Amino acid sequence: MKNHLRSVCASVCLFFVLGSACLLPHAARATTLTVGVSNMGTLLSAAPNGQPDGILGAILSEIARQENWTLKTDLCEWRDCMRKLRAGELDLLPAVSLTPDRTTVLDYHQTPALQTWTQVYTRPDKQLHTIQDLDGLRLSTLASSTQYSYLETLLPSLGLKTHLTPSETLIQGFQQVQAGQIDAIAADFFFGNTMAHQYGLAATPIIFLPAGLYYAAPKGRNADVLRAIDRHLSTWKADSDSVYYRILTRWDSSRARPPDTRAAPEYGLMALAAVGLVALLALACAGYTRRRARRQTQHLQAAEHRLSTVLDHIDDLICIEDQDRRCRYANRPFREFFDLPATPSSTTFNPDTSRALMRVDGISDAELQALAQGGSIVTQEQRPSPRTGCTHTFQSVKLPLQNPDGTTGMFCTILTDITARRQAEELARHNAFHDPLTGLPNRILLLDRLEQTLPGARRGAGCSAVLILDLDDFKKLNDSRSHAIGDQVLREVARRLKEHTLERDMVSRVSGDEFMVLLTQLGPDLETSTRRALKIAERLRLVLASAPLEPGDQACVFTASLGLTLLHPGGTTAGDAIREADLAMQRAKMLGGNQTVIYDHTLQADFEQRLWMEKDLTQALNTSQLAMHIQPQYARDGRVTGAELLTRWTHPDHGPVSPALFVPLAEETSLINHLTYWSLGVACQALLDLQSLDETYPISINISPRVLMDPGFGESVRSLLKRTGAPGNRLIFEITEGVWIQDVDATVQRMRELNRLGIRFSVDDFGTGYSNLSNLMRLPIFELKIDKSLIRNLPDDPDSIAIARLILAMAEQLDLWVVAEGVEDEPQAEFLARHGCDAMQGYLLARPMPIDAWLTSIRQRRTGRD
């Protein structure tokens, strides 16, 4: 009878133990500033006076008070706030978590303002205990949030078919859960608790995604503000009596803690004791008659059987051990995992009457002592499976099972397998800091490593360097052979870079075909470090260029442009170092690629000049800043045989800007199109003005290869000639030799299309390029212009004499008109005239002048003759 009593008590106890274990949550994981404020409840809100309120608002207001800042509040929904921040319409936005994508457009301070996590909320009638309970349910979270991105990866990796629904606002999501349109919502803990109370929802034990919250600023702005925030937060967090903790206390920060998973078993034990007492009384009453005892025995055996069946069909691993740590009972999942025999005694739930199976070492000596004193233990632990050899991670709950007299005789271990969840979390964490294509660290991880390296460089512990490597013409491979082939190339490049750098260095893929390498411990001084860094950069460049990459069935050779900057005592910040290396890499690109450039301060000056030139040239179009000058060309007998139009830019602040600076810049952007069509319009008007003065010589203008090969260029020129009435046969388009290198046939077709409008072509800067005679003969060329670099040393330099005579002889043979540009003295002119040059252009004969000035001089000459 005693055995029956104890058995029933143990059965009931375990039912309640399992119930309490299921309820346990899993382990969780003087300046004016325009500040964006969203309604986030306790976390962030706006006070009646319009100032930022809530925890983060109060912290910012206190910093602003001490720093003498003026805060101007912009109330907006979260997505609008983020859009305004990226667009630079806000100076600061609180409650922003740090993600890889955001760091490319936003700047953060270093010390988190607050630590938070995400929690799932649902209606009180819906029981959700673990993340697996979300399978098949409708789960909402804020669109474009970190929670949405995290769940989008995590849920499928766990095999859960949860319907993830984005909400425009979190308030909308809470309203949908309240109305039954959505089953649950995942939200930040601070905001979620406020909204859950307002909409009658309950917080579940499902907690994930611990994160730091920051104040964020637009990229490159308000660095001093972020530094001030960091300074205050670091000081306040180190002082438990600071205003920071007073603010947290005022907003009841005690609610900002995850549930204490260790407390639940204690409540379970109280319930267990009560139930045990009730069971004992019931059995005592039943002992008055044998007949009722037999009936109770039958009920007990049936209950044991039912309980054993239930325990064998749950996923958790359950084991009951005695004080000698021998396994008295194990359910089927436990036996299968630890490869225990399925003996008859193990299939009936009665730990007192069943014989011991074996020792399983489930409870350690230290844990046994704590459990014997009535405590409980909730931990995570790893257990290897003897059957499979694989190690699994478990959420472990260990509880004492008390006898009716209050003594502890048995101990229960309940293991919940969370291996898949941990693996999914590790994968998500890895993907957040690594490039999924190459497996290399991404920009975020490299920035973190760079921030750790900088203090050592500043202390003089040795120099380091940042190297940025960008593949030359990689886009052409993607366009011509597919992105899949491009991905193979990037993986091979990553492998070679990793193979030819040291373990202490870090190779990272930061974007597209751009890689970054952090080189550390280069040497004790700047000179030694620079020499070693350049040697490594050259080795990496040759590693890529020397051996062909073989994606698919066709090998290809890639070169790379490399930019290098040194980190040394007195150096700059991580952001400055990356910017310097990037500027050096861009200069390597401009110099033709396949080379390494090390940063110096002239690159910064050139970059800043390039920035204001590109911006101001756009504004200068169709204004008086841009003007067209004309430089006449003279025949050997002194007659004007033609003229060239030259663009001049007079900047209101910088004065005259050399065409050698702004024309190449226009070539790299769409500005060259606007500049060319403007030049054509001026040329047509000049032809009409000259025609009215009976001047019928042609005018030459420079045409960019990019514009010439534009599909609509021919039709645009036709329309312009028709609209203005200008004679197309007196227009000469000057092109460079490189225009036909890519596709000779296409170039010939375009030139003949323009020939039909009367337009003729001149090869500018002839003699300095790389054209061959066969290509030259195929093209409908009218004129050759000898480059001024070949005229400069005439008539004294033998090489210049030989080249000039060769060009003139070839032109005569091909019946081409020849113009020599850059003629500056009489000996040059005499030599060219003596050897048959058709026309000359240069300062000796006439300097470039405004078109109106040239027209005026023509009128004056005609008046003088009259």
DSSP string, 32-70: EEEEEE---TTSSEE-TTSSEEHHHHHHHHHHHHHHT-E
First to last CA, the chain: 144
760 burial class (0-12, 13-18, 19+ CB within 10 angstroms)?
Answer: buried
pLDDT at residue 838 greater than cutoff 90 = yes
Average pLDDT over residues 241-257: 69
CA–CA distance, 474 with 354 (Å, rounded to integer): 72
DSSP string, 701-752: EE--HHHHT-TTHHHHHHHHHHHH---GGGEEEEE-GGGGSS-HHHHHHHHH
- pLDDT above 60 for 70: yes
What are the CA-CA distances from residue 363 to residues 321, 345, 381, 391, 825 (Å)? 8, 21, 11, 17, 102
- The vertex-64 CA angle with 59 and 70, nearest 5°, equals 130
Show the tokens assigned to 600: 């110096």
Residue type, 260: D
- Residue 165's DSSP bridge partners are 140
Cβ contact 366:332 at 8 Å? no
Determine the pLDDT at residue 348: 53
- Which range is least confidently modeled, 356-360, 597-601, 721-725, 810-814? 356-360
Q: What pLDDT score was predicted for residue 43?
A: 83
Percent of the chain with pLDDT over 90: 22
Question: Above 90 in pLDDT, residue 27?
Answer: no
**Average pLDDT of 466-494?**
82
What is the β-pairing status of strands 32-37 and 70-75? parallel
Which range among 31-45, 297-311, 770-784 shows the weakest confidence by mean pLDDT?
297-311
Contact 808, 835 (CB under 8 A): yes
* pLDDT band, residue 533 (cuts 50/70/90): confident
The residue type of 207 is I
| pLDDT number for residue 817 | 93
Q: Which phi-psi region, left, alpha or beta, contains residue 473 (left: φ > 0; alpha: ψ -120 to 50)?
A: left
Using alpha carbons only, what angle is made at residue 9 by residues 3 and 15, rounded to the nearest 5 degrees?
A: 135
Q: Place 837 in a pLDDT band, splitting at 50, 70 and 90.
A: very high
User: CB of 788 within 8 A of CB of 644?
Assistant: no
Alpha-carbon span 276 to 409, nearest angstrom = 14
With 0-12 / 13-18 / 19 or more C-beta atoms within 10 angstroms meaning exposed / middle / buried, residue 860 is exposed
Q: Considering Cα of 489, then 492, then 496, then 497, what sign does the dihedral take? A: positive
Mean pLDDT for 627-639 is 91
Identity of the highest mean pLDDT range in 36-40, 684-688, 805-809: 684-688
* Strands 202-218 and 760-766, bridge-based pairing: unpaired
- Residue 225 CA, distance from chain mean position: 24
Position 270 pLDDT exceeds 50: no
User: Peptide bond preceding 795: is omega within 30 degrees of 0, i.e. cis?
Assistant: yes
Tokens for 297, please give them. Answer: 């025995």
- For residue 852, what are its two tokens? 């109106």
Q: What is the mean pLDDT of the chain?
A: 80
Least confident of 40-44, 570-574, 755-759: 570-574
> Is the model's pLDDT at 146 over the cut of 90?
no
61-75, 326-340, 415-429 — most confident range: 61-75
Task: Evaluate if residue 33 carries a pLDDT over 90.
Answer: yes
pLDDT at 642 over 80: yes
| Number of Cβ within a 10 Å radius of residue 833 | 15
Q: Which of 786, 863, 770 is nearest to 819 (CA)?
A: 786
Ramachandran sector of residue 230 (left: φ over 0; alpha: ψ -120 to 50; beta: rest): alpha
pLDDT at 329: 86
Predicted local confidence at residue 716, as pLDDT: 92
- 306-335 average pLDDT score: 82
State residue 769's pLDDT score: 59
Range 262-285 average pLDDT: 36
Give ∠ CA 593-599-605 in degrees, rounded to 5: 100
33 phi and psi angles, rounded to 5 deg: -120, 130
- Tokens representing 302 are 């049936």
pLDDT in tens, 566-620: 886 666 778 888 888 888 888 888 788 888 888 877 666 666 666 677 777 777 7
**What confidence tens digit (pLDDT) does each residue in 434-444 have?**
888 888 998 88
Would you mind telling me the total number of residues written for the chain in this entry? 866
At residue 16, the pLDDT reads 39
CA distance 401 to 21: 14
Q: What digits encode the pLDDT tens for the residues 805-832? A: 988 988 888 889 999 999 999 999 999 9
**H or E stretch including 630?**
strand 626-635
Mean pLDDT confidence for 172-176: 89
632: β partners? 643
Q: Do strands 106-108 and 202-218 pair parallel, antiparallel, or not at all (unpaired)? A: antiparallel
pLDDT, tens only, 488-504: 888 888 898 988 888 88
Say which range, 135-139, 390-394, 606-610, 713-717, has the weakest mean pLDDT. Answer: 606-610
Phi, psi angle pair for 254, to nearest 5°: -60, -25
pLDDT at 770 over 70: no
Distance separating alpha carbons of residues 620 and 674, to the nearest angstrom: 11
Nearest to 662 by CA among 618, 631, 602, 706: 618
Indicate if the pLDDT at residue 267 is higher than 60: no
pLDDT at 353 over 50: no
Query: Could you count the other beta carbons within 10 Å of the beta carbon of residue 652?
Result: 11
Q: Highest mean pLDDT: which of 188-202, 291-305, 797-811?
A: 797-811
Rounded-to-integer distance, Cα 103 and Cα 216, Å = 9
Predicted confidence at residue 483, as pLDDT, reads: 75
pLDDT at 432: 77
pLDDT top residue among 105 and 427: 105
- 279-293, 421-435, 480-494, 831-845, range with the lowest pLDDT: 279-293
Residue 142 has pLDDT above 90, yes or no: no
Apex CA 545: angle with CA 542 and CA 547, to 5°? 100
Q: How many CB atoms lie within 10 A of CB 452?
A: 11
Specify the residue for token string 């999924």: 436
pLDDT score for 12: 38
Which pLDDT band holds residue 232 (cuts at 50, 70, 90)?
very high
